[in-house]
Amino acid sequence: MSRPNIHGGRIDGAVRGQALDRTPGKILLGGDLTLTTKSEPVQVLDPSGTHRDVTLPAEADSQHLQFLILNEASSTEDLIVKNDSGTVLDTLAGFAAASTKSRGLFVCDGVAWYSMHTIQKA
C-alpha cells in the first residue's frame, strides 16, 4: 500500500520493524555529518568528545522522508540537527549519565522538516 506517512498531524509507521532491522551500529563521528536521501532512517550516533552538527537533506528532495536520530554520547556532547539551510531544528543533548539518552524524530513534508524530541531515562 502506497500512502504518505503524514496524516493531519499524526505520523503513521514512523518506526516499523523494517527500519529498525536496518539500524546501523553506533557511528562514532569524527566531524559533522550530512545525511542524504539515501541515508539509513535510524541513525545511532556518538559525537566522540564534542558537539557535532547533523544536517538533513534538502526539503524539496525529502518529501515523506523520516529520520530517527539517537544521541549515544557518554558525556555532555550534543548533536545539533539542522536543515540544509543551516537553521537549527533541534539539539539532542548528550548526558554524562549512561542511562540517559536523547533522540529526535525528524519528518519532512517536502517543504519543511518537523521534529519531535524525547529523552529516555533508564
Grid coordinates of 21: 532491522
Residue from 25, 1, 28 nearest 12 by CA: 1
The pLDDT of residue 122 is 61
pLDDT at 5 over 90: no
Q: Report if residue 104 sits inside a domain.
A: yes
Tell me, what's the pLDDT at 26?
86
Q: Tell me if 70 is assigned to some domain.
A: yes
- pLDDT score at 84: 96
Domain membership flag for residue 19 = no
- Say if 78 falls within a structural domain: yes
Q: Which domain holds residue 52?
A: 43-122
| Count of structural domains within the chain | 1
Separation between Cα atoms, residue 47 and residue 42, nearest integer Å = 16
- pTM to 2 decimals? 0.78
Residue 104, beta-bridge partner list: 69, 117
Residue 8 lies in a domain: no
Residue 34 falls inside a structural domain:
no
Instruction: Examine residue 11 and state whether it is found in any structural domain, yes or no.
Output: no
Please tell me the distance from the alpha carbon of residue 54 to that of residue 90, in angstroms, as a whole number.
10
Which cell numbers hold the place of 122?
533508564
Residue 111 lies in a domain: yes
Mean pLDDT of 28-38: 95
pLDDT over 80 (residue 76): yes
